[in-house]
Structure 1
């Protein structure tokens, strides 16, 4: 078996071929795929042949899976809905659901609003709308490399608060700063070392709320500058999907955002996500508690 990585751009992103990820993989193959992920940040696998159970089994090769705890009559959930369908398979026309998804269309890193961050996200296409709906990525490691040394020195030891409510407010949700301040806001380094490659990334994006110890205006000026720097066109790629394709991205190396599509068309995308180390014990994932205490995401009324 020869695994091949075909670059999507010279600096990051590659399509992987030569491996059947719908079958059990030996340790050597898993390590080879992780090494390619560390190098490229974004990897695309075409026509995977994966179903839900296969996606979960493949994702477990990369670490501890995020999950939602079981409820009455519902087992533990390992795949997250990243499309526009309800649990019954109908297009979700709820204003709150549509507003929530608008937040996904702003550049971000998955789950930076959690104390233990997401490392890998694995998004599989089950139904694809004719209008598209690509995922766009930008290279936060190369963006850090290209910063002036003066800026690198300035941000080297800074910490930032992160908030899911803040990104949803930017997407048009009716959320106040008081609501954000009432809730826990995890703190993460603004410069994050990437263990797999030894490179630094700018760890910001739409969930990044403010710099610890700084005033609001000063915080936002810096975070907005860095987000604009990372998301320049020269650092971007995008991937389009056919049914059965799956893309993996490393949230500790890249930003991403969902692409535009026609909400009247069905889009079924399922995401498995892997926590950074050290992982929490199985059954002790705080996602359930977070979303249980979240206010309803409603659009701002005109």
Structure 2
């Protein structure tokens, strides 16, 4: 049976059926998933029945999987370093009361692209729901390709060739963490063009969101105003939709042509257990080693207010 894509909006997002993600995929099936991702940007697979191991194995079809920060001698809540913990749970699977963890997770509720703060960008993310709250927690997705195409000519000319300066700690500051600008600027940043050609589709796309702190060569106030204006443009209702989760659902999106954000829910009352794999751009299927560990290096320099060593975030 061939993969079937049912559009969520006319140009963006699709629910996918006709494929069993608990079984190894054939090369033809991998190609069908890639084609669907290229066209729709976001693919929703309902009621997959996937285990953690199957989630990781499925994701490896699309390239090297980034790994959560290494914590020597500490227990991990999740069984694989390739699984990023997007939950509100602590090491024992209970709702966290750790202020640093709560501050860190609030950043996920801003419109963002995964790992834009890394020099090596993430292409696909695949998020699997294990426990969902009875209300709230819907994830929003925004179409950065169509939004770029519908910008006015003057704005397109203004942003062509501009470089965005991206920081994880900047997005956490925007979400309310008390991190001084000078502390953020003293830590690693990543520079990426804010307009690029999405290689798979050949369409131009914006690559800008909550991690984007400044625009290289622009006055800070002017650059930050432009960043806010572009994010507001991409996240208009006409470019967005929201996924309502059920346990077992897997959503896969292309960070190079989308934005997304986590939905509000009562984090103090309800458990939400979501686990994500992230594929490094430009890598080969089932590539297991790269000789680097960039997330461990980055998070070793986390500001104290969102220090994941205390927050037990990211798979600890």
Normalising TM by the smaller chain, what interval? over 0.9
8 Å Cα contact 2:188-2:298 kept in structure 1: no
Deviation at 1:181, TM superposition (A): 1.1
Deviation at 1:227, TM superposition (A): 0.8
8 Å Cα contact 2:132-2:247 kept in structure 1: yes
- In the alignment, the residues of structure 2 paired with residue 100 and residue 230 of structure 1 have an alpha-carbon distance, to the nearest angstrom, of 24
User: Is 1:273–2:275 an aligned residue pair?
Assistant: no
- In the alignment, the residues of structure 2 paired with residue 152 and residue 73 of structure 1 have an alpha-carbon distance, to the nearest angstrom, of 48
Per-residue Cα deviation, 1:166-209 (whole angstroms, up to 9, x for no partner)? 10001000101011111121100010211110111111100001
8 Å Cα contact 2:163-2:192 kept in structure 1: yes
Per-residue Cα deviation, 1:118-156 (whole angstroms, up to 9, x for no partner)? 111111000111123111011000000001112112111
Structure 1: gaps of 5 or more residues: none
User: Is 1:12–2:20 an aligned residue pair?
Assistant: no
Aligned to 1:290: 298
8 Å Cα contact 1:59-1:274 kept in structure 2: yes
Give matches, 1:164-179, under 5 Å.
Answer: 164-179=168-183
Instruction: Please report the TM-score for the alignment, with normalisation by the length of structure 2.
Output: 0.91
In structure 2, relative to structure 1, the CA distance for the partners of 1:73 and 1:179 (3 Å cut) is closer
Aligned to 2:36: 36
Corresponding residue to 2:86 among 77, 82, 89: 82
Aligned to 2:51: 51
- In the alignment, the residues of structure 2 paired with residue 159 and residue 134 of structure 1 have an alpha-carbon distance, to the nearest angstrom, of 31
8 Å Cα contact 2:187-2:301 kept in structure 1: no
Per-residue Cα deviation, 1:199-243 (whole angstroms, up to 9, x for no partner)? 111111000011111111111121111111111111110001111
Secondary structure of the equivalent of 1:226? Answer: helix
Which 4+ residue blocks in structure 1 deviate beyond 2 angstroms?
A: 68-76, 278-283, 296-299
Secondary structure of the equivalent of 1:234? Answer: helix
User: Is 1:190–2:197 an aligned residue pair?
Assistant: no
Give matches, 1:126-141, under 5 Å.
Answer: 126-141=130-145
- In the alignment, the residues of structure 2 paired with residue 158 and residue 292 of structure 1 have an alpha-carbon distance, to the nearest angstrom, of 30
User: Is 1:203–2:207 an aligned residue pair?
Assistant: yes
- In the alignment, the residues of structure 1 paired with residue 55 and residue 196 of structure 2 have an alpha-carbon distance, to the nearest angstrom, of 28
8 Å Cα contact 2:64-2:283 kept in structure 1: no
Instruction: Please report the TM-score for the alignment, with normalisation by the length of structure 1.
Output: 0.95
Structure 2: gaps of 5 or more residues: 308-316
In structure 2, relative to structure 1, the CA distance for the partners of 1:8 and 1:76 (3 Å cut) is closer
Tell me the matched-pair count. Answer: 299
User: Is 1:97–2:98 an aligned residue pair?
Assistant: no
Corresponding residue to 1:116 among 115, 120, 129: 120
Deviation at 1:297, TM superposition (A): 3.0
Aligned CA-pair RMSD:
1.6
Aligned to 1:225: 229
Secondary structure of the equivalent of 1:2? Answer: coil
User: Is 1:145–2:154 an aligned residue pair?
Assistant: no
In structure 2, relative to structure 1, the CA distance for the partners of 1:2 and 1:76 (3 Å cut) is closer
Give matches, 1:210-249, under 5 Å.
Answer: 210-249=214-253
- In the alignment, the residues of structure 2 paired with residue 135 and residue 246 of structure 1 have an alpha-carbon distance, to the nearest angstrom, of 12
Deviation at 1:70, TM superposition (A): 6.5
Greater Cα shift, 70-79 or 137-146? 70-79
Secondary structure of the equivalent of 1:137? Answer: strand
8 Å Cα contact 1:168-1:297 kept in structure 2: no
8 Å Cα contact 1:70-1:77 kept in structure 2: no
- In the alignment, the residues of structure 1 paired with residue 306 and residue 256 of structure 2 have an alpha-carbon distance, to the nearest angstrom, of 30
Aligned to 2:72: 71
